[in-house]
Amino acid sequence: MSINAQEVILTLKLLIMLKKILNLDGAKELNQKEKKSIQGGKWSCGPRASDGTCAPCPEGYMCNTGSTCHGGSYCIVEIQPL
């Protein structure tokens, strides 16, 4: 297995980017427990509205299960037609 120049350059760029991020004021690398607690940016659909629909997702988002709330429901970006 050989490493080509593109892979080396990409790896170096990623390491430089990580170093810059970690040098931001207040930034720190997460420990394993903190990494496991990340929810991946998902918002849970809120409690059911009086009409039984999922509510509230932030503007521009909709519940991944449409209008039916149940365990595992979360908000996703609403796709706008072109």
Is 35 part of any domain?
no
User: pLDDT at position 39, please?
Assistant: 61
Is 62 part of any domain?
yes
Is 63 part of any domain?
yes
Task: Judge whether 75 and 57 are in contact, CB under 8 Å.
Answer: yes
Looking at per-residue pLDDT, the higher value among 67 and 10 belongs to 10
Closest-CA residue to 47 (of 76, 71, 64): 71
Q: What is the DSSP string of 42-61?
A: PPBP-SPPTTS----PPTTE
pTM assigned to the model:
0.33
Domain enclosing residue 52, as ranges: 5-28+40-77
Q: Residues 25, 29, 35, 37: is their CA dihedral positive or negative?
A: negative
- How many domains, the chain? 1
Summarised one tens digit per residue, pLDDT across range 32-73 is 888 877 766 556 666 666 666 666 677 777 777 766 666 667
What string of H, E and C letters represents the secondary structure of 2-19?
Answer: CCCHHHHHHHHHHHHHHH
